[in-house]
């Protein structure tokens, strides 16, 4: 058997400890499948005294991950620190400059600096693997880069954040308000104390930017992603969606067309019988559309020590076995410009919830604003007859341009009887 692949692990949090434990537990199986053992020779973390439920005895300890990347006796550095800047980026750069392969679970780093790091790796014939950066244990990177490589990928969309999916699923199942369910998710450990990164859609946007680059052979363009979170989704929206035959999901969606790529993360209504509508709780799913294969759906756990460590170890095993591919499917210098389209170019259907005083002429004013923008109404739900109390009016609109929809909603929001800004959710059928 060939000599061991020696790896150094930067970051010994939940995932890092999970990687060390998994490599030890599955050592014989990994060696058999790779044709060589994989050995952890060095680790780096901030606190040497913390109990991590993994055996790090016999491994060299480094207080500084950058020093470890430069100096440790290793062939490969696993970066599990996180963040797009600072020590995580510096450690990956140092490893590549020192001739070490890199495996990372850092979606922010790849979304923001992926092309730069890929160029460094390719210049030295090194691997930069990042399966764990997107959708946890779902092997979507490998699927796009290898299994679907014979296809022109037309679109990719998915539930890319388990925290948001848990919140929306629980709101639907219980009828509880967003703030209440978010607090529960924090208590259960599904959401961070500061949940902004998840609930505002930033985490999903990092992952979508990576998927779009890989799927379409274009530069990574995180800045080109339109991002909206789930903070404005009310229990009433989820109830009305169910009544209309839809479910509310936070989706990341990217499509490639002649005019460029549209990348967007925002809440959507999806038909209740769509495959992605049934993905619940903390699970993730990714749906791809290829010109030869058609629709493919991959579903699984999107986070946690086990699924993420599984993806990291899979990347390590590829390198140990000598399996390498261009970072984004093609050499980085052959990636096409991103050419991202703004959300105003979207053409589709819409759900709108209005909070109004039930007075004569309210609906006439609403329909006039829609008519003037050539927006056609598909259905309306109106309940309540007390003119002194606000009531909901829920509309679904036929497919139209986003720019027209925005102008119509601006006019509707100025009507005297409309007491809150119109709440719009896009419909994806």
* 207 tagged catalytic: yes
Gap between the Cα atoms of 218 and 329, Å rounded: 10
Q: Exactly one of 107, 142, 207, 249 is catalytic; which is it? A: 207
Instruction: Answer yes or no: are the C-beta atoms of 167 and 184 closer than 8 Å.
Output: no
Cα distances (Å, whole numbers) of residue 3 to 6, 19, 332: 9, 20, 31
Tokens for 339, please give them: 């050419």
Pull the structure tokens for residue 397: 């609109």
The answer for residues whose C-beta is within 8 angstroms of residue 181's C-beta and 6 or more apart is 167, 170, 171, 174
Distance CA 84, CA 103 (A): 15
List the one residue out of 304, 292, 172, 156 whose CA is nearest residue 216.
156
Cite the active site residues.
Answer: 207
């Amino acid at each position: 058997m060939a000599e061991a692949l020696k790896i150094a692990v930067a970051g010994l949090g939940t995932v890092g400890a999970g990687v060390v434990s998994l490599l030890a537990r599955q050592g014989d199986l990994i060696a058999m499948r790779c044709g060589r053992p994989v050995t952890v020779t060095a680790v780096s973390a901030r606190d040497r005294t913390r109990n991590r439920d993994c055996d790090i005895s016999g491994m060299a300890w480094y207080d500084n991950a950058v020093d470890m990347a430069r100096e440790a006796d290793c062939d490969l550095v696993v970066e599990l620190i996180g963040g797009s800047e600072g020590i995580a980026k510096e450690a990956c750069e140092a490893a590549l400059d020192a001739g070490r392969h890199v495996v990372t679970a850092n979606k922010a780093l790849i979304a923001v600096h992926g092309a730069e790091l890929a160029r460094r790796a390719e210049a030295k014939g090194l691997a930069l693997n990042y399966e764990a950066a997107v959708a946890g244990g779902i092997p979507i990177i490998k699927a796009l880069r290898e299994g679907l490589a014979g296809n022109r990928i037309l679109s990719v969309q998915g539930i890319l954040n388990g925290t948001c999916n848990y919140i929306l699923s629980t709101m639907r199942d219980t009828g509880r308000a967003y703030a209440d369910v978010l607090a529960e998710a924090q208590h259960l450990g599904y959401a961070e104390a500061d949940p902004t990164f998840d609930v505002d859609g930033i985490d999903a946007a990092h992952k979508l930017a990576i998927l779009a680059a890989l799927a379409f052979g274009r530069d990574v363009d995180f800045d080109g992603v339109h991002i909206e979170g789930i903070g404005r989704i009310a229990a009433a929206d989820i109830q009305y969606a169910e009544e209309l035959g839809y479910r509310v999901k936070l989706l990341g969606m990217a499509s490639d067309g002649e005019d460029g790529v549209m990348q967007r993360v925002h809440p959507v209504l999806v038909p209740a019988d769509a495959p992605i509508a049934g993905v619940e709780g903390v699970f993730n799913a990714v749906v791809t559309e290829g010109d030869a294969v058609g629709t493919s759906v991959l579903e699984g756990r999107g986070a946690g020590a086990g699924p993420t460590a599984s993806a990291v170890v899979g990347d390590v095993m590829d390198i140990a076995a000598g399996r390498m591919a261009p970072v984004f499917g093609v050499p980085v210098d052959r990636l096409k410009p991103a050419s991202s389209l703004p959300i105003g170019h979207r053409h589709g259907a819409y759900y709108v919830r209005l909070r109004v005083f039930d007075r004569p002429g309210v609906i006439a004013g609403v329909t006039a604003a829609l008519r003037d923008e050539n927006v056609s109404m598909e259905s309306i739900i109106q309940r309540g007859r007390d003119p002194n109390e606000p009531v909901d009016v829920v509309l679904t609109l036929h497919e139209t341009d986003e720019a027209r929809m925005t102008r119509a909603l601006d006019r509707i929001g100025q009507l005297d009887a409309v007491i809150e800004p119109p709440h719009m959710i896009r419909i994806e059928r």
